[in-house]
Amino acid sequence: MTETLENLQALLAPLVVLICGMLVLLLDLRRKAFAERKSLALTCFVGLALGAFATLPGLGAAALSGIKLQAADQSLTRLFGGGMTVDGFSSLLSLTLCLVAALTIGMSGRYLEDKKLPFGEFYALVLFATAGAMVMVSALDLVNVFVGLEVLSVALYILAGYARRELRSEESAVKYFLLGAFASGFLLYGIALVYGAVGIAVRSGALGSIPGSFTSLITLTEALHGTAGTEAALGHSPLFLAGIALILVGLGFKASLVPFHSYAPDVYQGAPAPIAAFMSAAAKIGAFVVLVRLLMPFAEPGVGGEVVRNALVGIAVATMLVGNILAIRQTNLKRMLAYSSVAHAGYLLVGVIAASTPSASGRISALAADSVGFYLLAYSLMNLGIFAVTVWLGRSGEEEFCEIGRFAGLARRNPAAAAVVTILMLSLAGIPLTAGFLGKFYLFYAAMQAGLVWLAAVGLVISVIGLVYYLNLVVQMYFREPADDTNPELRAGAAKNVAVVCAVLLLVLGILPSGILGPTRITDNLQLMGATITDPGMAAGRPRPGGGGPAAPRPGNAPNAAPAPGGAPQ
């Protein structure tokens, strides 16, 4: 009974969000006046605030589950028989998901009102999708990953076609559903193959008795490390590699990795702007957290996995290149952002590869994983902010403010709006003093520390291409004359507030990241990463010059906290 209560308490955040979604549906049945939509939104905000509050105890956790998941590691928080966990990584990204959902609901009110769309179902679906993504970021079992992914996906399928009277929205929903169903099938088949491969490794006698499901990441890690260097090495098993490949196909679709990105431009353009923003953030958070947890066991030397890493390197380069090049040709902002999201998925994959690369110090894997978490937070704010701008500047009853040419001369008509858009574009481009720059720097620096200097250099060169289309929007606003029919209807409302909040947070994260991430272990690792620029030995735990020794742990990080990746103490 006590164990069950602990499990429920630790998973309180997704449960609160899920229950809040059900409550919104019940309240919507009794809503009689159109103006009462505000009470539904308020209910959502309260539920998300409670969900976010429930994640706070886990922010101080030092363990990043999925890196070193030996069955003997009692420091790992295991829930529901080892199928779920709550650590600093999952807590930060669960908190990010609550923020993403709140901002999405905040910017959607005016849009739903203009389109005469029902509020209750929309809000409930956003909450259900958020709960599914929160399950994904805490999952330690591939079956639980699949359950969370399907909850997220089904809600997104419906939301993509929520503007039922618009043909483009219906078309985007059908495309997303059909391709998503195939991707889910690949993922499920891959899980089955991994189950068989791990089971064979365990039953072959090469390993001792390992408790837990054969789809558990704990069991998978034990099998990888326990068979390393033997004839039955799991990392070289064709069955296991085929299963991992199929899982990567399923997750690659959600993350918009090349060559699984073809749906993104049409779906982003056809879906309502708030949903395109939510989709781009929530789906990527869920997919990349699972990728980190799935692939980080390969960071242990001698376990194999070179085939997987080499394939991921090729996918990362292609994703960065294709996304940036195709974005240059776009004249529609939502399609440009779709290809931009593809490029950003490539940057994130660089961090995942760095986290899964065997290195001299396991601390490098933790740094890379934390860099992925930081960039997911920054990317979510960037995308939500710019999509909020399309709602803010849109005319009533018309399509969102999406044509890039319509931004011409915006700086003269509304300097404040132009300033917000400029901050968002500069952050997406990775210009200093923004969170986008800091995130890219951390990702590429982690890759260099993992020995992937050439991959970091390629990513840096390709990211320069993004300056072309990001700065083009800035040029349109400040140096182009507006046409007579491009004047936007500058309306006050929640979408404006969302855009401003995102812009401000991006500046704060870019200048003072510890101001927001202070309670998390991510701040420690990112500060250590910055320190290694002048003293590379600190990454390996060597004493500081002058005999000061390694950095002392921050308050709240106990010396006996869970070990960092590869066994390095935190």
Structure tokens belonging to residue 182? 């195939």
Q: Phi and psi of 141, rounded to 5°?
A: -130, 135
From residue 356, alpha-carbon distances to 69, 90, 141, 166, 294 in Å are 14, 18, 18, 44, 9
Checking if the pLDDT of 491 tops 60, the result is: no
**For residue 506, what are the contacts with CB-CB under 8 A and spacing of at least 6?**
378, 381, 382, 385, 423, 424, 427, 434, 435, 436
Residue 399's pLDDT band (boundaries 50, 70, 90)? low
pLDDT beyond 90 at 204: no
3-state SS track over 159-196: HHCCCCCCHHHHHHHHHHHHHHHHHHHHHHHHHHHHHH
**In the predicted structure, residue 74 carries a pLDDT above the cut 60:** no
What does DSSP assign to residue 407?
A: G
Give the residue-averaged pLDDT of 385-390.
Answer: 88
Q: What is the pLDDT of residues 167-176, one digit of tens each?
A: 777 888 888 8
Name the nearest CA neighbour of 448 among 536, 544, 542. Answer: 536
Does residue 73 come out as left (phi exceeding 0), alpha (psi in the -120 to 50 range) or beta? beta
pLDDT at residue 296, as a whole number = 80
**pLDDT tier, 139 (very low <50, low <70, confident <90, very high otherwise):** confident
Tokens of 402: 């999406």
Q: How far apart are CA 371 and CA 374, in angstroms?
A: 5
Name the residue among 107, 176, 164, 97 with its Cα closest to residue 401: 107
pLDDT band at 382 (very low <50, low <70, confident <90, very high): very high
- The reply to whether omega before 555 is within 30° of 0 (cis) is no
| DSSP annotation of 66 | T
d(CA 284, CA 198): 27
Residues 6+ apart with CB under 8 A from 293: 65, 66, 139, 140, 217
Instruction: Answer with the residue of higher pLDDT: 348 or 395.
Output: 348
What is the pLDDT averaged over residues 295-299? Answer: 78
Q: What is the pLDDT of residues 251-289, one digit of tens each?
A: 999 888 988 888 888 888 888 888 989 998 999 999 999
Residue 415 reports pLDDT greater than 80: yes
Tokens for 1? 């009974």
Q: In this structure, what token pair is assigned to residue 58? A: 């886990």
- Strands annotated E in 53-199: none
In 3D, which of 261, 325, 259 has the Cα closest to residue 467? Answer: 325
Average pLDDT over residues 412-436: 89
The mean per-residue pLDDT over the stretch 539-560 comes to: 37
How many C-beta neighbours within 10 Å does residue 79 have?
Answer: 18
Q: Count CB neighbours of 313 within 10 A.
A: 18
pLDDT digits (tens, 9 = 90+) for 1-41: 566 666 676 678 889 999 999 998 888 877 655 446 677 88
Please check whether residue 329 is in contact with residue 315, taking contact to mean a CB–CB distance below 8 angstroms.
no
Quick check: 361 pLDDT over 60?
no
3-state secondary structure 356-378: CCCCCCHHHHHHHHHHHHHHHHH
**What's the pLDDT at 400?**
55
pLDDT tens per residue across span 328-357: 988 888 889 999 999 999 999 999 998 888
Q: Which helix (H) or strand (E) holds 7?
A: helix 2-10
Please tell me the predicted confidence (pLDDT) of residue 69: 37
Q: What is the mean pLDDT of residues 379-392?
A: 89
- For residues 553 and 570, what is the distance between their CA atoms, to the nearest angstrom? 8
Tokens (6 digits) for 423: 């901050």
Separation of alpha carbons 410 and 416, rounded Å:
9
Q: What is the pLDDT of residue 72?
A: 35
Phi, psi of 88 (to 5 degrees): -60, -35
Among 522, 534, 558, residue whose Cα is nearest residue 93: 522
* Strand, coil or helix: 265: helix
* pLDDT value at 200 more than 50: yes
| Partners of 216 in beta bridges | 141
Average pLDDT in the chain: 78
Average pLDDT over residues 473-501: 74
DSSP line for 473-499: HHHHHHHSPPPTT-------SHHHHHH
Calculate Rg over the CA atoms of the chain.
Answer: 23
Residue with tokens 């164990």: 3
Least confident of 82-91, 381-390, 526-535: 526-535
For residues 303 and 489, what is the distance between their CA atoms, to the nearest angstrom? Answer: 59
